[in-house]
Structure 1
Amino acid sequence: MKTLKDFPYKQVLVLGLAKSGTAAAHLLLDSNIRVRVNDLKADESSEAVQALKQKGAEVFLGDHPLSALDGVDLMVKNPGIPYENPLVDEAVNRGIPVVTEVELTSHLHKGPLIGVTGSNGKTTTTTLIHKMIEADGKPVSVAGNIGSVSCEVARSTSDDETMVVELSSFQLLGTEDFRPDVAVWLNLYEAHLDYHHTLKNYHDAKARLIANQTSEDSLVFNADDGKIVSYLPNASAHQVPFSLHNKEKGAWTDEENIYYEEEAVMSREDIVLVGPQNLQNILAAVAAVKQVGVSNQAIYEVLTSFTGVEHRLEFVTESNGRLFYNDSKATNILATSYALRSFQQPVILLAGGLDRGNDFEGLLPYLSGVKGVVLFGETADKLAETANSAGIEQIEIVDTMQQAVDKAYAMSDAKDVILLSPACASWDQYSTFEQRGNMFTDAVHKLK
């Protein structure tokens, strides 16, 4: 496995031992770099901690002593740890660079690197790109926010292998030299203000994706998103737009076909994925894979068979004429509005979750096809007010997902869509959106 060569740092503090921290610490130790590890909750006797100690890591557990920074010239932090953390704050005060493990990836991977970010659609687009390159018979790997730690994956990639990395704003904020050969910027909306504090901070974190690109690189961007377009004057990369509305250079569509430049790639009626947001994701993926020479045949093979990513407008089953969709990844208003626009049939909407202080007026224009709502979590009352404003007569508030599915089924008729699309994060009741989605699908399969 590859290790870091000519790495400019000699002693590194790894803050947070989750998957990314553990992978980064092992990489650094294998590269003969001195490593300290600090974690608030890790168990001293755990296999992960013991393995790092056996390799020579100095481990601090249970608190965040500022002395852990003494002699350190780089911090690699877990992306979810906020910059208000006392160790992170002190590192910044001392002038110690603070990065996430994604930064290490660029020191390892030598082949083409495609980085994908956006407020919505990252995982679907990353998956499409990966599958299209794979269908074309080219070596490819996938990593990042999609599930696999990128610096760990990069340790075993070949020099001719394309690496596709899904990148969150948390990860990108901790980059200095990270430079994708192809940057894919899907959209920009309000999100994660509890972490970034201001919308500008959040948008600027996303813009780190393109900060180090040169004229030799490509920037695939959403030409329909004015906030992204506002960053383009500072972009050095070759710009490749995608658009639902304009016949731009790059990837675009009319009522019949998907195009790249002037060439029709395939017919829209052959595409399996539903929804306008997925059409944007498809255009972005087509534009991205064209930068690495993928054929139309490979694109066609993927788009005629790919039915979606789990928890992202995922078709679950049909039961007594009702169609059940799991969109648990819809953790904000925009994602839920996209889901609602995906169906012509009447919808029973299941929604609610963590209260981040948002109101839900932004959903009002998309509730006209909703015949009933079943609500849960901290935002249930707020969403009930919005549903009432929309003139929805059937409004139920429940405590559990099984209750939600049972109530939704009772409201529904044959040919209705029963849609879990919460418009909120899951952390008030569930550890992850995946757990929430799994509870939904389990409840659906328990229906009698």
Structure 2
Amino acid sequence: MPSLDPFFTEWARRRPGRARSLERAAALARALGLDADRAPVLGVVGSKGKGTTATTAAAALASAGLRTVLVTGPSFRSYRERVRVDGMSVTDAELDALGARIDAARRGLPPVEESGGYLAPSGLFLVAGLLHARDVEADVCVLEAGMGGHRDELRLVGPEVVALGSVFAEHVGVLGDTVEEIAREKARVAGERTRALVRLPQTAGVAAEVDAALAEATGGRVRAEVVDPGRPGVEPPPALRPPGLSAASGVLGTAAAARMLDHLGRPPMDRERLHAVLGTLRLPGRLSHHAVPTEDASGGGGDGGATEDASGGGDGGATGDAGDESTGAVPDAEVLVDSAIDRAGVSAALAHARGLWGRVDHVLLCLPDHKDVSGAVEALGDLPVTAVRLPEAHLRFEHALPDHWDRMDADGLSPAALRALGTRVLALGTVYFTGRVLEAVDAPTDRLFG
């Protein structure tokens, strides 16, 4: 298990009211030589679907023969999953070495008290990804933002290409008070180095704010390019898109990768090779399908990787891929895992489960109060449901729930607990929770494609 202290020390020691410091993060990047020496970056922002977009973009770039470093978050089972090369997680030893270099540079900075803020874990994993890209001589990096915006470390990196997914009322009161304000903030990761922003269709108000923010950030030289998943002939074909609501994220990731190839002066993607690589795409926790082992999983990928600082962001949507069958399992009990956090996501996951199985025996739902709990309750109707509480201190679980629902703590998740609920179980909720379910069924999460 890698040491995580270099990534979490300053966050863990932060004082009340103290925020992340981009100035301190910029100083760290300079100390590591990343301000001038880094691979080209494709940055991914949005309210949901970021992980799917980033992973699809990385797979598409890898299909074009580029060595690609991917940074996403939160992780599923292990923090080494935060940094990948051509879809494969770094090793514990590699993450340890990256952390040690970051920590040595951090110790050379002025004290936190003088900088006015701390180094955020999500930003430090971006730094680790850029360092590793330099080590392995990567051709390109795909970096998923946390919340995104001008206060996100991705803005310091200055992505050459930005992929902007769907924007909705997530982080209201943090990034903005309206969806339009949130969209404007997320688009502000663009900067002097940015040469393209590719986005999904948005409402007129959101599109206008994105255009205004992009013009301001780039001096008017970059205009948003829209990719419409509903247009005939758009890559990838429907059969190779992730299922459910994340199909659009797969289209966005592919389009952003194509734009990056254009920026780099590379030939367009070969469709046959692209389709071959996308056919291997695996997105755990996003409509992924797993057999439940007969005994507690002991494969041991986990180091608590699904937990993360509250500012770290994450996919947060009903995005994903129908996946794998975990080893050592008997196929009479199955779980479908999805990181749905609102009414639309829960409804889509429920429809997918019924299409797969014909029925759902039980639903495990884990939604903190700041998610769309009421919408999820309505979407689930009269189904048997167990509400799951997580132990993370920054998450609250006080929303009123139907009296007939069962309750449990996340620490009680195990193959036996899943099997006791029935043979067709749907597990839905925040990524913190879905990571625990993947750990319980010993789902393989180190390789996402290839």
Normalised-by-shorter TM-score class: 0.5 to 0.7
How many Å apart are 1:438 and its aligned residue?
1.3
Q: Is the 8 A contact 1:349 1:372 kept in 2?
A: yes
Using a 3 Å threshold, how does the CA distance of structure 1 residues 396 and 160 change in structure 2: closer, same or farther? Answer: closer
Using a 3 Å threshold, how does the CA distance of structure 1 residues 192 and 437 change in structure 2: closer, same or farther? Answer: farther
Aligned partner letter, 2:249: N
Aligned residue among 344, 362, 365 for 1:351:
365
Task: For 1:144 and 1:109, locate their aligned partners in 2 and report how far apart those are by CA, in whole Å.
Answer: 21
Task: For 1:188 and 1:112, locate their aligned partners in 2 and report how far apart those are by CA, in whole Å.
Answer: 25
Which structure 2 residues correspond to residues 173-192 of structure 1 after superposition, within 5 A?
173-175=151-153, 177-192=156-171
Q: Is the 8 A contact 1:136 1:294 kept in 2?
A: yes
Q: Is the 8 A contact 2:41 2:143 kept in 1?
A: yes
Task: For 2:332 and 2:434, locate their aligned partners in 1 and report how far apart those are by CA, in whole Å.
Answer: 27
Aligned partner letter, 1:398: M
Residue correspondences, number: 323
Aligned residue in 1 for 2:46: 118
Aligned residue among 380, 386, 408 for 2:421:
408
Using a 3 Å threshold, how does the CA distance of structure 1 residues 441 and 180 change in structure 2: closer, same or farther? Answer: same
Relative contact order (C-alpha < 8 Å, sep 6+): which is higher?
2
Q: TM-score, normalised by structure 2?
A: 0.59
Q: Is the 8 A contact 2:176 2:185 kept in 1?
A: no
Aligned residue in 1 for 2:61: 133
Aligned partner letter, 1:401: L
Aligned residue in 2 for 1:340: 350
Aligned residue in 2 for 1:241: 226
Q: Is the 8 A contact 1:114 1:183 kept in 2?
A: yes
Which structure 2 residues correspond to residues 16-31 of structure 1 after superposition, within 5 A?
18-20=5-7
**2:285 partner SS:** coil
Aligned residue in 1 for 2:310: none
Aligned residue among 423, 426, 441 for 1:419:
426
Q: What's the CA shift string for 1:335-378, capped at 9, x where partnerless?
A: 4444334343333321025334x55232356436x743222227
Task: For 1:102 and 1:243, locate their aligned partners in 2 and report how far apart those are by CA, in whole Å.
Answer: 39
Q: What's the CA shift string for 1:162-194, capped at 9, x where partnerless?
A: 111111116851455542111011122233458
Q: Which has the larger radius of gyration?
A: 1
**1:209 partner SS:** coil
Using a 3 Å threshold, how does the CA distance of structure 1 residues 169 and 239 change in structure 2: closer, same or farther? Answer: same
Aligned residue in 2 for 1:397: 407
Aligned partner letter, 1:419: L
The answer on 1:273 being equivalent to 2:242 is: yes
Aligned residue in 1 for 2:439: 438
Q: CA RMSD in A?
A: 4.0
Using a 3 Å threshold, how does the CA distance of structure 1 residues 103 and 295 change in structure 2: closer, same or farther? Answer: farther
Aligned residue in 2 for 1:13: none
Using a 3 Å threshold, how does the CA distance of structure 1 residues 186 and 404 change in structure 2: closer, same or farther? Answer: farther
Which structure 2 residues correspond to residues 151-162 of structure 1 after superposition, within 5 A?
151-155=127-131, 156-157=133-134, 161-162=139-140
How many Å apart are 1:202 and its aligned residue?
4.8
Aligned partner letter, 1:150: L
Using a 3 Å threshold, how does the CA distance of structure 1 residues 18 and 209 change in structure 2: closer, same or farther? Answer: farther
The answer on 1:150 being equivalent to 2:126 is: yes
**1:314 partner SS:** strand
Unaligned stretches of 5+ in structure 2?
Answer: 74-80, 84-124, 216-221, 262-267, 292-324, 391-395, 444-450
Aligned residue in 2 for 1:362: 375
Aligned residue in 1 for 2:335: 324
Aligned residue in 2 for 1:312: 286
How many Å apart are 1:280 and its aligned residue?
0.8
The sequence identity of aligned pairs, in percent, is 14
Range with greater deviation from structure 2 (149-158 or 279-288) = 149-158
**1:302 partner SS:** helix
Aligned partner letter, 1:223: P
How many Å apart are 1:224 and its aligned residue?
4.0
Aligned residue in 2 for 1:27: none
**1:169 partner SS:** coil
Q: Is the 8 A contact 2:241 2:251 kept in 1?
A: no
Aligned partner letter, 1:147: R
Aligned residue in 2 for 1:84: 17
Aligned residue in 2 for 1:69: none
Aligned residue in 1 for 2:117: none
Aligned partner letter, 1:312: R
Aligned partner letter, 2:436: Q
Task: For 1:100 and 1:439, locate their aligned partners in 2 and report how far apart those are by CA, in whole Å.
Answer: 38
Task: For 2:336 and 2:143, locate their aligned partners in 1 and report how far apart those are by CA, in whole Å.
Answer: 27
Task: For 1:398 and 1:184, locate their aligned partners in 2 and report how far apart those are by CA, in whole Å.
Answer: 38
Aligned residue among 370, 375, 389 for 2:387:
375
**1:191 partner SS:** coil
Aligned residue in 2 for 1:77: none
Aligned residue in 1 for 2:254: 286
Q: Is the 8 A contact 2:184 2:206 kept in 1?
A: no
Q: What's the CA shift string for 1:388-421, capped at 9, x where partnerless?
A: 8xxxxx7433343247524421xx5xxxx42111
How many Å apart are 1:283 and its aligned residue?
0.6
Task: Please state which structure has a larger fraction of its residues in strand.
Answer: 1
Q: What's the CA shift string for 1:102-147, capped at 9, x where partnerless?
A: 9769624454310012222222221221122112212322225461
Task: For 1:40 and 1:138, locate their aligned partners in 2 and report how far apart those are by CA, in whole Å.
Answer: 34
Aligned residue among 174, 186, 199 for 1:221:
199
Q: Is the 8 A contact 1:346 1:371 kept in 2?
A: no
Task: For 2:15 and 2:206, locate their aligned partners in 1 and report how far apart those are by CA, in whole Å.
Answer: 25
Task: For 1:18 and 1:228, locate their aligned partners in 2 and report how far apart those are by CA, in whole Å.
Answer: 39
Aligned residue in 1 for 2:275: 300
How many Å apart are 1:211 and its aligned residue?
4.6
Aligned partner letter, 1:367: L
